[in-house]
Amino acid sequence: MKKRPALNIDHEKLRENMKTVVSWCSEAGIDVAGVFKVTSGLASAALDYEACGAKWIASSRLEQLARAKEAGVGIPMMMIRVPMISELDDMVKVCEYSLQSEFSTLKALDEAAIRAGKIHNVILMADLGDLREGFWDLDELVDVAKYTEEVLTGLNLAGIGTNLGCYGSVIPTGKKMQQLAEYAEAVEAAIGRPLEIVSGGATSSLMPVFDGKMPSKINMLRIGGAAFVGALEETCRIYGRRELKVLHDDAITLEAEVIEVRTKPTHPVGELGVNAFGKKAKYRDRGDRRRALLAVGGADFGEIDDLLPQLPGSEVIGCSGDHTILDIEDCERIIKVGDVIRFKLHYSAILRLSSSENVAKYETGEIGCLL
Ligand SMILES: *Cc1c(COP(=O)(O)O)cnc(C)c1O
């Protein structure tokens, strides 16, 4: 019998999404690094990305990249969270590329690469205002680039890049991308050769591509979100784009099983303290309503806002660690114990569900290697 809760991964839909993302980019002269961290490092998702034309596989976690390599991904691996000094020896064995923003780490990485007998490729990050990782000063970026080029023999300066939107909510406008292009030109002037990579950001940097505002100097994007949840109504709203609608919004879905069905009051009965998460919650009194209790909870998916029930007329009204309450008063379908409810998922729910040991993973469709 199928185990539940179940995370269903439809590789046909996933690959169609990835192909679409890669084709949008390649029309603009941009190569894609396929970011698969939202799946908690599902190797089959990395194989799909490779089959769909990604030039690198990227993640913020070394363990995930190691797993993908083990599974047979042949394209270069890219570490996209600036690494810890303590993981550099492992990193040079697993990854050919990494994003960097500290001089001391670059020097330690150079030594680690030499120890391993490898040349490791680095992309120096410029912080253009989002205030997470990256060199703030152009002069410092250029100095470190020059030093990497001339002194650090274990490293190849592959390029520069930026990240926007993750902390500071800064939008990757054509203007920001132009600034990155100018930074790249300053580095190229200092080292006297063209850079292989100018990496313009993540899913949010697809918007200047759609608008035809991406400077030709930007030749790489690191894309995760678009391929996995790009078409969700909410994602389209965040980016204000209908273009994303052509993607599938159900490549990864959740199935949860109904364990109780009853009509109950909507306002708790008794003196109220705090809920399972230690929070004082608010309850709207809507009288008695029919609800289904599901065997999946916040411990698995995080926040109920990240679940989109596919049962018409239903609404998720709350959860504890291991239970979810679904209002089904307005549903036409008769719901009974043992029924299965399907959900589309926002990014953070996929992130959590894919790493939960309580959630079974079912993969359908051929994986990777179709090219
Ligand atoms: C997660 C991440 C990405 C991918 O972001 P999406 O919005 O999922 O496309 C790109 N770059 C870095 C540095 C990241 O951490």
Q: Given 2, 3, 13, 37, which residue is catalytic?
A: 37
**Alpha-carbon gap, residue 247 to 230, rounded angstroms:** 7
**Alpha-carbon gap, residue 229 to 7, rounded angstroms:** 14
Q: For 83-95, what is each residue's pLDDT tens digit?
A: 999 999 999 999 9
What percent of the residues of the chain are helix, what percent strand, and what percent coil, each to the nearest 5?
35, 25, 40
Mean pLDDT of 305-327: 97
* Nearest Cα to Cα of residue 16 among 297, 238, 226: 226
**Alpha-carbon gap, residue 184 to 189, rounded angstroms:** 9
Q: Name the 3-class secondary structure at 122.
A: strand
**Most ligand 1 atoms within 8 A of CB, residue of 80, 99, 127, 244 to mutate:** 80
Confidence check: pLDDT of 370 > 70: no
CA 60 to ligand 1 centroid distance, Å: 8
pLDDT, residue 98, reads 98
Q: Is the beta carbon of 128 within 6 A of some atom in ligand 1?
A: no
CA 202 to ligand 1 centroid distance, Å: 5
Q: For 163-182, what is each residue's pLDDT tens digit?
A: 999 999 999 999 999 999 99
**Alpha-carbon gap, residue 141 to 160, rounded angstroms:** 9
**Most ligand 1 atoms within 8 A of CB, residue of 59, 133, 166, 218 to mutate:** 166
CA 197 to ligand 1 centroid distance, Å: 16
Q: Residue 215 CB: number of other CB atoms within 10 A?
A: 18
Q: Is the beta carbon of 221 within 6 A of some atom in ligand 1?
A: no
Q: For 3-38, what is each residue's pLDDT tens digit?
A: 999 999 999 999 999 999 999 999 999 999 999 999
Q: Are 308 and 252 in contact (CB under 8 A)?
A: no
Pick among 2.60.120.860, 3.20.20.10, 3.40.50.150, 1.20.1250.20: CATH of 11-229: 3.20.20.10
**Alpha-carbon gap, residue 320 to 311, rounded angstroms:** 21
Q: For 285-313, what is each residue's pLDDT tens digit?
A: 999 999 999 999 999 999 999 999 999 99
What's the mean per-residue pLDDT of the chain? 96
Domain ranges within the chain, ordered by starting residue? 11-229, 252-363
Strands 252-265 and 340-345: antiparallel
CA 223 to ligand 1 centroid distance, Å: 6
Residues 6+ apart with CB under 8 A from 368: 11, 15, 44, 47, 48, 50, 51
Give the DSSP per-residue string, 199-266: E--SGGGHHHHHTT---TT--EEEESHHHHHTTSHHHHHHHT-SGGGGS-S-SEEEEEEEEEEEEEES
pLDDT, residue 238, reads 85
Q: Look up residue 371 and give its two tokens.
A: 């090219």
Q: For 44-94, what is each residue's pLDDT tens digit?
A: 999 999 999 999 999 999 999 999 999 999 999 999 999 999 999 999 999
pLDDT, residue 371, reads 43
CA angle (119, 158, 81) in 5-degree steps:
85
Give percent of the chain above pLDDT 90.
Answer: 94
Q: Look up residue 173 and give its two tokens.
A: 């406008």
Query: Radius of gyration (Cα) for the chain, nearest Å?
Result: 23
Q: For 252-264, what is each residue's pLDDT tens digit?
A: 999 999 999 999 9
Domain range 252-363, CATH class = mainly beta
Kindly give the number of the ligand 1 atom that is closest to the alpha carbon of 38.
8
Tell me whether residue 69 is one of the annotated catalytic residues.
Answer: no
Q: Look up residue 87 and give its two tokens.
A: 């993981």
pLDDT, residue 369, reads 56
Q: Is the beta carbon of 80 within 6 A of some atom in ligand 1?
A: yes
**Alpha-carbon gap, residue 355 to 38, rounded angstroms:** 9
Mean pLDDT of 208-226: 96
